[in-house]
Structure formats: C-alpha cells, structure tokens
Amino acid sequence: MGDCSYKRESSYDEKERKNRAGTRAWYKRFGHRLAEEDSTAIRGKVIMKFDYPYTLEKQDDGNYLVQFVDLDEAFTEGETEEAARFNACEVLSLVLEQRLDDGAAIPLPTSVDTCDHVAPQASVQSALLIHIAREDNHSTISDLARALNTSWPSAQRLENPRHSPTLKQLERASTALGKRLVLVLEDE
C-alpha cells in the first residue's frame, strides 16, 4: 500500500462554495450526505472527491493520534506527524475497503475547513466511484453486467478495491452508468 498521499486543505473561496451548494440537493435526492466542498458543480456536472477530514493531535507519549471525522472506526497514530499522516491514508483505505466488502454504508466526506484531509488509495477511489455511480443510477450489478455485455463476476470486480481495473474498463463502466471518467493529478 505505497501510493498514499495527504494534503492540508486550504479554505475555500466563498464564490466556489456557493456554486457547489447546488450539488447538495442532487446528493440528498440519492440519500448521500454531502457537504458543499465534497463535490464541484461545473457546467451542471458533478465531480466527486474523496478527501476525508481528520484530526491530528499530539499525545502525552509524544505520538500523534489521527481520528477521522466521518468514520468512527478509522483512527491510527504515528511517531511523527509525517508518519501519522501516511498511516491516515492507509487506515482510511482499509476501512473504506472493508465497508465495500461488507456492503455497509459509505459516508461521503463532510467539510471541515479546520482539519487536514486525506484521500484513500486510487484502487479504493475507483471502486467507490463505480459503486456510488451505480447506486445513484438505481442499477444492480446485474444491470451493469448487461450494459457492459460481460459476466456478473466481472462487473462486481469493478467495485472491488483489490481488483485493479484498466482505464478502458473504468471508462466503459462509467459510460454505461451515464457518467464520464475524468482523471486528475493534484499537487501534494
């Protein structure tokens, strides 16, 4: 699990915040909890981000404790701030992966401007994107398999973070779900 990264979230421009407010209603319609900063409305399109907020506090023993705002079971520590932040990505990825495996609810990240944020590994993010898009589309895995002209197990693997789908597979699944796959690289 070596592709974890973290970033300190800066405060958002008030104009951007107002533009994003319209996306909250869209997600409420589908039962997802979403804060203004969690997705962006660009020309009527929605971009999902999985930057989860966490708190970082120094303990009496000198270690740093990380606790996630949206996931009670996700916490870790590290001997240094850097180690704690790296561990935050690891534990976030594992908790979200387990929730996907269990079929448990996966809360979208809330907005907390005073916290650091971290995203899970790319394999977990891709599984989450397909899972959430399929649920928002009110589709079953069988529906997705039929749309992709593939087997049910092949369609199910797209929502499995331990399976690494190709970009072509992700693009086909996105299209079948009425979405468009867009890749973004961000500075750390």
- In this prediction, residue 14 carries a pLDDT of 38
Predicted local distance difference test score (pLDDT) of residue 45: 55
Give domain status of residue 15, yes or no: no
* Separation CA 181–CA 122 (nearest Å): 14
Is the residue at 150 inside a domain?
yes
Please check whether residue 38 lies inside any domain of the structure.
no
What's the structural domain count of the chain? 1
Q: Is residue 12 part of a domain?
A: no
CA distance 86 to 90: 7
Q: What digits encode the pLDDT tens for the residues 96-119? A: 999 999 989 999 898 878 889 999
Residues 129 and 48 sit within 8 Å (Cβ to Cβ): yes
Q: What is the pLDDT along the chain (188 residues), one digit of tens a residue?
A: 444 444 443 333 333 333 333 333 333 333 333 333 344 443 345 567 789 999 999 999 999 999 999 999 999 999 999 999 999 999 999 999 999 999 899 998 988 788 899 999 999 999 999 999 999 899 999 999 999 999 999 999 999 999 989 999 999 999 999 998 888 887 77
Does 16 fall in a domain? no
pLDDT at residue number 46: 59
Q: What is the pTM of this model?
A: 0.72
Residue 34 in any domain: the answer is no
Query: What pLDDT is stored for residue 161 in this prediction?
Result: 93
**Which structural domain, as residue segments, surrounds residue 176?**
121-188
Q: How far is CA 58 from CA 26, 72, 78, 88, in A?
A: 39, 19, 10, 14
Write the CATH number for 162. 1.10.260.40
Taking the C-alpha atoms of residue 121 and residue 66, their distance in angstroms, rounded to an integer, is 17
Residue 117: strand pairing partners: 7, 53
Q: What's the confidence (pLDDT) of residue 74?
A: 95
The verdict on residue 148 lying in a domain is: yes
What is the tens place of the pLDDT at every residue in 162-174?
998 999 999 999 9
Residue 65 lies in a domain: no
